[in-house]
């Protein structure tokens, strides 16, 4: 019996799924996917290059932005092979090890991105609440420690996931509903009791994104309290204007995630297509829009990018 189980485990193959459209529509759908990846990879790469080469941008705000660009670039690289592979060539099969590797990096980078958004909220709070001590509080060594803690926290939470899934037997038709692997979906394919894994998955979500979103909310409560104490209407608007890019990044990251969680728990009769589209949006929308939003909203970054291309 053990030999049979081992065989089922080692030979487990998962089938990825394209968007549920008919005929030649898959070819047309591959075009926006390609477009999103080109914009994401090119946009985030340009932002990283500009921040690295321009000494004027070696400030905490732009260092945190470079961290955000790195995580978005990492998610793009992690998912591009399977999403474009199935969209362009209908390559559906993915081995268990490849699937576990992909889901590990997807969830790791998403958790790191959540931490980076929290650090950016803290950055905006310090810049508005205590601008005179901004440079002395957010020093390069302190930012380095923040970055290390963010990565280590995500790593500790995510590292057990592939090992937990690796211990399961997979003996059903392992058809996933997306063009990439996610922990929750792979877990449901197992022929074993997944209660512990389900509880642990919920714990990691709450401890990472739940805690981060709560701290971000509290940061903006303090920011709003500080801004409302400013007597000058013009200075008040200027302070709030520095938060718009970060607020857009928060909406792009958390809105699809929260919507998907609500639908999974309360929208039992909702359209499967809606759930699939929200899944793609939660993964791909921040990759596409973050470099666009920050390039348009950050004046110094925008000027540096224009200068780079008109030389």
Going residue by residue through the chain (311 aa), what tens digit of pLDDT does each one get? Answer: 444 444 444 457 888 888 776 656 667 777 888 888 999 999 999 999 999 998 888 899 999 999 999 999 999 999 998 988 888 888 888 989 999 999 999 999 999 999 999 999 999 999 998 888 998 999 999 999 999 999 999 999 999 999 989 888 887 778 888 889 988 888 888 888 888 888 898 899 889 989 999 999 999 999 999 888 876 788 888 888 889 999 999 999 998 888 877 776 665 666 777 778 888 888 888 998 999 999 888 888 888 888 887 76
DSSP state of 177: S
Domains of the chain from N-terminus onward: 2-309 (1.20.1070.10)
pTM over 0.85: yes
Asked if 251 and 226 touch (Cβ cutoff 8 Å), the reply is: no
Question: d(Cα 76, Cα 86) in Å, to the nearest integer?
Answer: 15
* Radius of gyration for the alpha carbons in the chain, expressed in angstroms and rounded: 21
Total residue length of the chain = 311
d(CA 58, CA 112): 21
Quick: pLDDT tens for 54-71. Answer: 888 889 999 999 999 999
Task: Say how far residue 159 (Cα) sits from the centre of its chain.
Answer: 17
Residue range 263-298, pLDDT digits in tens: 766 656 667 777 788 888 888 889 989 999 998 888
Largest Cα span, the chain:
76
Burial class (CB in 10 A: 0-12, 13-18, 19+), 249: buried
* Residues 236 and 228 sit within 8 Å (Cβ to Cβ): yes
Given a contact cutoff of 8 angstroms between Cβ atoms, the answer to whether 185 and 174 are in contact is: no
Give Cα 74 distance to the centre of its chain: 9
Model pLDDT, residue 8:
46
Q: Note the Cα 311 to chain centre separation in Å.
A: 33
- With tokens 């508005």, the residue in question is 128
Per-residue pLDDT of 158-167, as tens digits, reads: 999 999 898 8
Per DSSP, the three-state class of 175 is: strand
């Amino acid at each position: 019996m053990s030999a049979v189980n081992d065989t089922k485990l080692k030979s487990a193959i998962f089938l990825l799924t394209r968007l549920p459209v008919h005929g030649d529509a898959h070819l047309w759908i591959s075009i926006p996917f390609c477009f999103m990846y080109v914009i994401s990879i090119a946009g985030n790469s340009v932002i990283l290059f500009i921040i690295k080469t321009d000494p004027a941008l070696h400030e905490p705000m732009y260092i945190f932005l470079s961290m955000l660009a790195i995580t978005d670039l990492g998610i793009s690289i992690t998912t591009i092979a399977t999403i474009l592979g199935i969209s362009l060539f209908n390559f559906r099969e993915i081995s268990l090890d490849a699937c576990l590797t992909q889901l590990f990096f997807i969830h790791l980078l998403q958790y790191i991105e959540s931490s980076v958004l929290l650090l950016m909220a803290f950055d905006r709070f310090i810049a508005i609440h205590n601008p005179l001590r901004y440079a002395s509080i957010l020093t390069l060594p302190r930012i380095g420690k923040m970055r290390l803690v963010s990565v280590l926290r995500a790593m500790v939470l995510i590292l057990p996931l592939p090992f937990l899934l690796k211990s399961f037997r997979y003996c059903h038709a392992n058809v996933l509903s997306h063009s990439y692997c996610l922990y929750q979906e792979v877990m449901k394919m197992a022929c074993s009791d997944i209660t512990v894994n389900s509880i642990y998955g919920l714990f990691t979500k709450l401890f990472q994104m739940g805690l981060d979103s709560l701290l971000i909310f509290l940061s903006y409560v303090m920011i709003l309290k500080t801004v409302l104490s400013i007597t000058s209407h013009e200075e008040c608007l200027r302070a709030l204007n520095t938060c718009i890019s970060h607020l857009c990044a928060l909406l792009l990251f958390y809105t699809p995630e929260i919507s998907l969680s609500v639908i999974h728990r309360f929208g039992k009769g909702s359209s499967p297509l809606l759930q699939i589209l929200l899944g793609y949006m939660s993964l791909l929308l921040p990759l596409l829009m973050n470099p666009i939003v920050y390039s348009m909203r950050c004046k110094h970054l925008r000027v540096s990018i224009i200068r780079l291309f008109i030389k």
